[in-house]
Amino acid sequence: KQEVTQIPAALSVPEGENLVLNCSFTDSAIYNLQWFRQDPGKGLTSLLLIQSSQREQTSGRLNASLDKSSGRSTLYIAASQPGDSATYLCAVLETSGSRLTFGEGTQLTVNP
Amino acid sequence: NAGVMQNPRHLVRRRGQEARLRCSPMKGHSHVYWYRQLPEEGLKFMVYLQKENIIDESGMPKERFSAEFPKEGPSILRIQQVVRGDSAAYFCASSPTPYTYEQYFGPGTRLTVT
């Protein structure tokens, strides 16, 4: 059974700091990995999708890497801003089915 | 191209009533997924449907829950005889194919059972 773990559970940083969020998964048989952002009481916004054959994806100040063999992904946020405050979720799409398996998320607070 | 639409956004039901949650996928998407987010918990897969077919319902509670995706119209997640433990955010996602492509999520329906 696939398990996805995100560390840390919560993170508070001053504005302008670069930061890394971690995601690990137990079964490397995945199609892809997605990073999402969720604001309180809101839906999910897809940030980055990394296919299993890819090593990283970049969008603006965000960079996500994937090491499938070791079951790890990182989301790097450069020059953090208060507007980045949200919960960040990692999810993997397994080859055995069509479901996304989510981590519990990292709650990020960027202080002005 | 409108995104995934869900309605209602908020639903209040008394214990024992029925709840019907609707999801309209993005245009051109024929694959729909339902996920549930219980308070203080992560998102959990419930069911995966294609038009007129349930492909994977392994995440659905065995009783009171059902889902459909008819040939015409939105996908429906139906909860009969709701209990307080059903209070959660229910998210729908869609994709053009089941693999490779990302799943696009709707804004969710927040169900409160009183």
Residues of chain B found within 8 Å of residue A89, distances taken between Cβ atoms: 42-43
Q: Which of A33-42, B10-19, B54-63 has the highest mean pLDDT?
A: B10-19
Distance set, CA B45 to CA A34, A80, B97, B98 (Å): 15, 31, 17, 14
Give CA torsion, residues A95, B103, A74, A81, to 10 deg. Answer: 180
Contact B112, B90 (CB under 8 A): no
User: Following DSSP, what letter does each residue of B50-97 receive, concatenated?
Assistant: ETTEEEE-TTS-SSSEEEE--SSS-EEEEE-S--GGG-EEEEEEEESS
pLDDT in tens, A46-89: 999 999 999 999 999 999 999 999 999 999 999 999 999 999 99
Residues of chain A found within 8 Å of residue B104, distances taken between Cβ atoms: 46
Please tell me which of the candidates A32, A49, A102 has its beta carbon nearest to residue B43: A102
- For residues B56-73, average pLDDT: 94
Give the C-alpha separation, B2 to A96, whole Å: 30
Contact A62, A47 (CB under 8 A): yes
Q: How far A101 CA lies from chain B's nearest CA (Å)?
A: 7
Q: How far A20 CA lies from chain B's nearest CA (Å)?
A: 20
**B100 — pLDDT class (breaks 50, 70, 90):** low
Q: Residue B71: beta bridge partners?
A: none
